[in-house]
A and B are shown apart, each in its own frame.
Chain A
Amino acid sequence: AQSVTQLGSHVSVSEGALVLLRCNYSSSVPPYLFWYVQYPNQGLQLLLKYTTGATLVKGINGFEAEFKKSETSFHLTKPSAHMSDAAEYFCAVSGRNYGQNFVFGPGTRLSVLP
């Protein structure tokens, strides 16, 4: 079955440090790729997505992600972490190989230390 993996269920960074959250997908056909953020006791909010075109995509709150077909990856980065970035982050895919729905990774909880 097609799947999405996120390396690291919990990542801690210091405030002001680089944030790197990893996402890999398993599909012979590149899917559409999404990053969502979930703050405590809330629903999921779209951070950014890749459909076609430029492989470096920018999202809200200073996040960006780069689609690398050769590595089947879509890692999320932010140059400087802020306390308000503490949340759970989910990578998701959709497209022809995933039917008419979205498949989510297990999530990575980001903690930001003062």
Chain B
Amino acid sequence: NAGVTQTPKFQVLKTGQSMTLQCAQDMNHNSMYWYRQDPGMGLRLIYYSASEGTTDKGEVPNGYNVSRLNKREFSLRLESAAPSQTSVYFCASSDQGGLMGTEAFFGQGTRLTVV
């Protein structure tokens, strides 16, 4: 049982380049999330998908787009990378979207550097 799998684990981009971060979960969870982690700021929600076919903005959505491809997969796209997007990105999933006290499960993270 792999849980939440993120690819790639590391990436270096030049300013203006684009890329897509991939995330897949095998726990049949309805809800999926993308967070970014920056020192001293905890995890901030970029986008989330409460269920297949829906996506919503989180706290810091600017510069990002997402696609809920199916129930298993939720991708994050940076259309034109900026140095301010240098961060560690985490994908997570949850069975009931936090409404019923079920926890979120996290991937191992993608460490992205934009130069």
Contact = CB atoms under 8 A, between A and B. Distances in A.
Interface of A: 4, 9, 32, 34, 36, 41-46, 49, 51-52, 90, 92, 94-96, 98-107
Interface in B39-63: 40-45, 48, 50, 58
20 contacts: A32-B98, A43-B107, A43-B108, A43-B109, A44-B104, A44-B106, A49-B103, A94-B97, A94-B99, A98-B98, A100-B31, A100-B48, A100-B50, A100-B98, A101-B58, A102-B33, A104-B35, A104-B43, A106-B40, A106-B42
B97 A101 contact: yes
**Sorted from nearest, which 10 A-B pairs have the closest CB atoms?**
A94-B98, A51-B101, A100-B97, A43-B106, A32-B101, A106-B42, A104-B43, A104-B42, A100-B50, A44-B106
Interface string B60-103: 00000000000000000000000000000010101001111101
Interface residues of B, number: 28
A90 B94 CA distance: 17
Contact of A90 (B31, B43, B103, B107): B43
Interface of B: 4, 31, 33, 35, 40-45, 48, 50, 58, 90, 92, 94, 97-101, 103-109
Contacts, number: 73
B39 to A, nearest CB: 9
B27 to A, nearest CB: 13
A105 B105 CA distance: 17
Given A51-B100, A100-B31, 18 more contacts: A9-B40, A43-B108, A44-B92, A45-B106, A46-B103, A90-B42, A94-B97, A94-B99, A94-B101, A100-B50, A100-B99, A101-B45, A102-B98, A102-B104, A104-B35, A104-B44, A106-B41, A107-B40
Contact of A43 (B31, B50, B90): B90
